[in-house]
Amino acid sequence: MVRPIKPRRIMFDPNVTYFKPRAVPLSMLEEVDLGVDELEALRLCDLKGLGQIEAAKKMRISQSTLGRILTSARKKVTEALIEGKAIKIRKKEKNF
């Protein structure tokens, strides 16, 4: 049985849910799902410049979990940019 996902503290609510290549209809694009927790990890580490330990404390998760989230998020964003896919931001997670 899989362990349930521990609640993650998200201090950012994106007001945009899609990014896509210009001049290509969304119906013609493949999508990459990016979770709001992945977006928060990118925001804290890459935009704000926090270290993984400090960012993990802010999200109330372990550093190793944050590292896995960052790896997944960076792979998804890179895939979308290189392969011309749309990025859909999932807002399923709640703020804690």
pTM value? 0.84
Structural domains of the chain, count: 1
Asked if pLDDT for residue 94 goes beyond 90, the answer is no
Chain segment 5-59, per-residue pLDDT in tens = 777 888 888 888 899 999 899 889 999 999 999 999 999 999 999 999 999 999 9
Rounded distance, CA 21 to CA 76, Å? 15
* 84 within some domain: yes
The range of the structural domain enclosing residue 82 comes to 33-90
The pLDDT of residue 3 is above 70: yes
The phi and psi torsions of 14 (rounded to 5 degrees) equal: -65, 140
Does 74 reside within a domain? yes
Please report, for the domain that includes residue 79, its CATH number. Answer: 1.10.10
Q: Sheet of 31-35: strands edge to edge?
A: 18-19, 86-90, 31-35
Please report the pLDDT score of residue 95 as a whole number.
45
Residue 86, number of CB atoms within 10 A of its CB: 16
